[in-house]
């Protein structure tokens, strides 16, 4: 393995102490909700070959683009609110690509309305994970991902759960998994350790004890196959 590259995790528990690696920066660590580059690196090394086309329909600060370019994969990154010129403005509920044309999709969508990504009215991150609508809109995205993927290829979907004062625990991950199972077959479920999270502070620790909830220490990475 090339030095300085992230660990290729042989287990279902993934932890990424470094946000960045290699010759170029990957995404923008200041972007609220940035994906650890090592998650995407592990997926594309395992599930694609050089020259394959990878698509990220909600590309944020562009981490998927940067990882794919360094590893010699073709890549298209979309977002409703592009943060840089190589990201194409597009709503993930309608992806402008032909059926069966893509070798892998990676997506790290909003997990509810806990983070403000942009003022764009079509940002799914404006809908609370307490509402049915949130899952309905993400289902439209899942259908599009299924349509553009070649049969036998991988869609990988990162998602985290919530705790809300009013509703208590919201198993966002399980709800998304149930929805994904309608379209895809599971390949594996990975637990991605959360680092640099905003809740990793004394104030949140005290809140968690006072209101009797747990701080979220991990996200799910669902690795799914189009059959
Ligand atoms: C968790 S962030 C993605 C982080 C990204 N992987 C990175 O490393 O920077 C979620 C992204 O979904 C985008 N988004 C929300 N609703 C969208 C929609 N309807 N279509 C496309 N992108 C959307 C947001 O603008 C935000 O950039």
pLDDT in tens, 164-196: 888 999 999 999 999 999 999 999 999 999 876
CB 137 within 8 A of CB 176: no
Residue-wise pLDDT tens digits, 193-217: 987 666 678 898 898 899 999 999 9
CB of 91 shorter than 6 A to ligand 1:
yes
CB of 33 shorter than 6 A to ligand 1:
yes
Q: What distance in angstroms lies between residue 22's CA and the mean position of ligand 1's atoms?
A: 24
Q: Report the distance separating Cα 187 and Cα 119, nearest Å.
A: 36
Structure tokens of 170? 């919201």
Q: What distance in angstroms lies between residue 209's CA and the mean position of ligand 1's atoms?
A: 31
Residue 149: its pLDDT value, please?
98
Residue 188: its pLDDT value, please?
98
Place of tokens 């073709």: 74
Pick the range with the lowest mean pLDDT from 3-7, 72-76, 146-150: 3-7
Residue 1: its pLDDT value, please?
47
Residue 22: its pLDDT value, please?
86
pLDDT of 67 above 50: yes
Hey, what domains does the chain have and what are their CATH numbers? 13-225 (3.40.50.150)
Give the three-state DSSP class for 60.
coil
CA nearest to 135, candidates 159, 106, 164: 159
Q: What distance in angstroms lies between residue 58's CA and the mean position of ligand 1's atoms?
A: 4
Give the three-state DSSP class for 135.
helix
Residue nearest to atom 3 of ligand 1 (CA): 60
The chain-wide mean pLDDT, for the chain, equals: 94
Q: Report the distance separating Cα 141 and Cα 196, nearest Å.
A: 28
CB of 118 shorter than 6 A to ligand 1:
yes
């Amino acid at each position: 393995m090339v030095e300085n590259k992230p660990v290729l995790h042989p287990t279902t528990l993934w932890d990424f102490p470094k946000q960045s690696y290699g010759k170029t920066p990957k995404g923008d660590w200041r972007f609220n909700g940035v994906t650890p580059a090592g998650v995407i690196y592990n997926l594309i090394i395992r599930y694609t070959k050089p020259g394959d086309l990878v698509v990220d329909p909600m590309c944020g600060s562009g981490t998927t683009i940067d990882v794919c370019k360094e590893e010699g994969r073709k890549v298209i990154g979309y977002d409703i609110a592009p943060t840089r010129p190589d990201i194409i403005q597009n709503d993930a509920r309608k992806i402008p690509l032909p059926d069966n044309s893509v070798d892998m999709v990676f997506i790290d969508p909003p997990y509810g309305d806990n983070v403000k990504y942009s003022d764009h009215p079509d940002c799914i991150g404006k809908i609370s994970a307490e509402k049915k609508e949130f899952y309905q809109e993400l289902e439209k995205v899942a259908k599009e991902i299924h349509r553009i993927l070649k049969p036998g290829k991988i869609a990988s979907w990162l998602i985290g759960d919530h705790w809300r004062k009013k509703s208590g625990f919201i198993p966002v991950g399980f709800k998304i998994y149930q929805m994904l199972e309608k379209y895809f077959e599971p390949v594996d479920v990975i637990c991605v350790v959360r680092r640099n999270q905003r809740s990793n502070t004394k104030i949140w620790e005290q809140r968690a004890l006072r209101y009797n909830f747990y701080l979220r220490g991990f996200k799910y990475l669902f690795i799914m196959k189009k059959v």
